[in-house]
Chain A
Amino acid sequence: MRGNVKPLWLSEMVAVWGYVQRNYFLTKRYFMWEIVWLVYVTINAMAITYIGAGVDAAGGTVDKEFLMTYLLVGALLWNYLSMLFDVLSETVSWERWEGTIEYTFMSPSSRVTHLLGMGFYAVVYGILQTALTLGVCYLFFDLDLSRANYAGALLVLAVASVSLVGFGIVAAVLPLLSPEKGQQVSYIVSSVLLLVSGVYYDVSVLPGWMQAIATVSPVTYALQGARAALQDGAGVAELWNYIRVLLVMGVVFVPLGLFVFHLGESYAKRTGKLKRSG
């Protein structure tokens, strides 16, 4: 606004709030769909947890409560982490679909602000959704969480969220490079993370080449750390092994993501691929 001279940092903070508030407005507007999605996520987590309950019938001899807790933690954390990844990776394709991408990209708010706003909303939304799902699952299952270190698990998740945001930003560049196929490729990345990160089984059961991929997935360390905290009651000192790797990944992936996104944006502006129709 002419005459509305604000320090740059303040303008950027206003813009971060703009992205968060816009996503809140959209969640409100699509409220019924949000309910449907919440029901789906909860039932999906319950169905996976019942695999543990049914292990006796299949002739297995494992600690049923442990397995059910293991599966539920996997289902809930995967829901949270994949949602974070998807929101970030869909940033471009979503705005292109709405037809607003050019207005967002010609506004003076920085790309860091844009992606930070998207990430912040995704974290808050994801935590609320996961807490609700966990609450419902508590009513249905006898979970083995007697030794749980909840604060430790939250710390692991907080650090993992930063690395996932960076990972998601790298994937968000794909629709800029290819408007038609970019988003599909990011879904493939998401499904590979599900396969190799040990969401429902230990990574050690995978073939060697898949285990190698798992070492660069932040989801692997997030799940191992969260399970250690929730199921074994691991303290911060024991969790440090996971947190340290996630911190390094955050330090690498966030700047790398922003750099790659900057290159992708320049490419899209050189080739005219920002345009709505692609």
Chain B
Amino acid sequence: MNALELRGVEKSFKKRRGEVVRALDSVSLSVGKGEVVGILGPNGSGKSTLVRVISTLVLPDSGEVAVFGVDAVRHPKQVQRSMNRVSVEASFFKKLSAMENLLYGAKLYGVTSAEARPRIKEILDNIGFAQKRATEPMEHLSRGMQQKIALARALLTSPVLMLLDEPTTGLDPRSKKDVQVFIRRIRDAHDSSILLCTHDMGEAEELCDRVGIMVDGKILALEEPEDLKRRYATNGRVPTLEETFMAATGYSVEEASANTE
């Protein structure tokens, strides 16, 4: 059984002037157990809507979404217990400390403070986050540190499916590297399946077993990085993933991350 299975998922939104935006256009994909699947796409391509549909925050117009065989539309509570998400915005109560936010986040999943505290200590040690800073308000922490806490919050509930929506966007190179190392550790040590949406080609190539390219709500291809690159080979030359992305989408990496969703 796959960790995640989407079949023919469609989602459109009506804008104010009656214009209809097709955010997901017959999207089908699967993420195997323990697999890391990356979705590359420019802003506005539908990556975040895809993550929101899987995380039960947006209802699809049609199609099927199953998490470990459970229908996410019909049984959202059952599915919510088995997954967690990290998005581009860290999204915390800014006046509360990292520890207070983590304890609160854990309780929403039925994890008591007594159960959560040793796990928090272990996770913070693993990500190199100084314990003493865990009592500082989130607004005093850097973006990179906040994003580490966001990963810790997700990991605290031991999800079998992790949804990572541009978790390293906007981070400085050092923080980005730290977060990527942490994601690799989750992949290797926690037996989680991961769907990673990103603009970062290096990140996708390094972390993902398979990579898909998404444009205008459609997934153009979803293959192992080498196979994907070979698909866009010209004159016998295998392009880089960045060149592959440009060939598939018509966007440069800079354009892809500059357009606003």
Contact = CB atoms under 8 A, between A and B. Distances in A.
Interface of A: 1-4, 6, 10-12, 14-15, 17-18, 21-22, 25-26, 29-30, 98-100, 102-110, 266, 269-272, 274-276
A18 B91 contact: no
B111 A1 contact: yes
Nearest to B107: A18
Q: Is the interface of A mostly helix, strand, loop or mixed?
A: helix
B57 A106 contact: yes
B115 A4 contact: yes
Contacts of B240: none
B112 to A, nearest CB: 6
B37 to A, nearest CB: 20
Interface string B191-226: 000000000000000000000000000000000000
A9 B14 CA distance: 39
Contacts of A108: 77, 80-81, 108-110
A212 B13 CA distance: 41
A29 B96 contact: yes
Nearest to A266: B59
Given A29-B95, A29-B96, A18 B158 contact: no
Contact of A276 (B89, B95, B106): B89
A274 B57 contact: yes
B89 A2 contact: no
Nearest to A271: B13
A6 B93 CA distance: 27
A156 B160 CA distance: 48
Contact of A26 (B59, B96, B108, B160): B96
A17 B81 CA distance: 18
B109 A103 contact: no
